[in-house]
Amino acid sequence: MSEMIEEMKSKAVIYYGDEIGQEKGRLLLTEVGLPNGLLPLKDIEECGHVKETGFVWLKQKKKTEHKFETIGKWVSYASEVTAFVEKNRIKKLTGVKAKELLIWVGLNEIYVDDPPTGKITFKSVAGISKSFPVSAFEVEDVIKKVKE
């Protein structure tokens, strides 16, 4: 990890463990106006957020792939995912790739329209963008159900 990231981490709120990592990841996505199922990571070891800059990172034990069934798209998540979050947007995203035809394309930005149109847009490193229904990335909040 770079020195800049290490410096940011010193100003962060950090959580360790999968259960709290899952909960805090979904909560953060919801707080910034993004669908809570956007980052379906597994075996989270660490997640952190620097509120003043919006920098966030999630570390999982190993790279994972996930298929968003309703749109038939595969997404690959590296063992470490980093980004800057702000209202309705993720910028400077690293560690996430989407499968398009037969190749994996790195994503670097995700945003929902404001005012809401029900669409979420993904931009690749090459500047190509594609939109899908927001509902394809929402999951029922299991943690909330357990607490009720």
Report the pLDDT averaged over residues 39-52. 92
Q: CA–CA separation, 103 vs 58, rounded Å?
A: 24
| Assigned domain for 66 exists | yes
Q: Which of the 8 DSSP states describes residue 36?
A: T
| Assigned domain for 144 exists | no
| Assigned domain for 148 exists | no
Burial bucket for residue 93 (CB in 10 Å: 0-12, 13-18, 19+) = buried
Say which range, 1-15, 48-62, 75-89, has the weakest mean pLDDT: 1-15
CATH at 102: 2.30.240
| Assigned domain for 147 exists | no
| Assigned domain for 127 exists | yes
pLDDT for 139 equals 84
Q: CA–CA separation, 132 vs 115, rounded Å?
A: 16
Residue 122 has pLDDT above 80, yes or no: yes
Print the domain residue range for 97.
3-138
Structural domains in the chain (count) = 1
Percentage of the chain exceeding pLDDT 70:
89
pLDDT for 10 equals 73
| Assigned domain for 75 exists | yes
Q: CA–CA separation, 18 vs 16, rounded Å?
A: 7
| Assigned domain for 88 exists | yes
More confident: 10 or 133: 133
Q: What is the pLDDT of residues 78-120, one digit of tens each?
A: 999 999 999 999 999 999 999 988 889 999 999 998 777 899 9
| Assigned domain for 145 exists | no
More confident: 134 or 1: 134
Residue 140 has pLDDT above 80, yes or no: no
Backbone phi and psi for residue 38, each to the nearest 5 degrees, phi listed first: -65, -30
